[in-house]
Amino acid sequence: MSLTMARVRSQNPLFQSLLGHRPYHCRVLGLHCTKPSREASCSLCRWCSTPLVVTPEGVGIEHVRLWSVPVPPRVWLQAWKFCHNAVPTLENLARFRPELDRCCNFNGADLESLQHVLRECPYTPVIWALSNIPWFVISADAHSVADWFVKVFERIDGQVRLWFLIICWSLWRCRNTKVMEGGHTDPLQLVHDASVLLFKYEQARAAARTRVLV
């Protein structure tokens, strides 16, 4: 079932009454999920595996809405994978191949987890500094990337959220370039390429709005 269909069904009172479920709200996806009423309020979202908050009325509670941020489709899809930790980091690959070296490709010492790639690697603070997103936002304590996204989105809004997701996508792309080709992306070049992507995306959106108005 697509996320769009899930959103429509989960917000449909008739659908909820037929199943005998009560609505929950996912902080990361920004949509209501239906879960059996016998489950506790700490149930995990079926989409992103983050804790769900019980909403007896189904509405009226403001949460972070990751998927409401207008982003390029490739960035949106990668953000979804980040929330699921569904990316081939060395930590994840080592679950299937224990003999695999799990050290970071940039510093050769730390375990390469997804959180390490996006914010804990010594290579990343320079990039986040060049992005002009405050470090106290990026360094928020979190037990997973999905939880990190929630806490970051609580501290930023609007265009900054889009910029944040594009930088995350660019960091992962930089990591893949290092692994696959052995190349090293200059931080200034990475931020420049991310800003070009943002500019082109905003241009495309503006052009689309103009066509609609005409």
pLDDT tier, 190 (very low <50, low <70, confident <90, very high otherwise): very high
- Cα within 13 Å of Cα(40), Cβ side: 2
Tokens of 179: 């692994």
Domain parsing of the chain, residue ranges: 3-54, 68-213
pLDDT for position 65: 57
Q: Give the list of residues 6+ apart from residue 164 with CB closer than 8 angstroms, or none.
A: 131, 133, 152, 156
pTM confidence score: 0.70
Contact 46, 33 (CB under 8 A): yes
Closest to 12 measured CA to CA, from 29, 34, 28: 34
Angle of helix 187-213 relative to helix 159-181, nearest 10 degrees?
A: 130
pLDDT in tens, 2-57: 444 444 444 444 334 333 444 444 444 444 444 433 343 444 554 445 554 444 33
Higher pLDDT, 44 or 201: 201
- Cα within 13 Å of Cα(170), Cβ side: 25
pLDDT for position 200: 92
pLDDT in tens, 80-136: 889 888 899 988 888 888 888 888 888 777 888 999 999 988 889 999 999 999 999
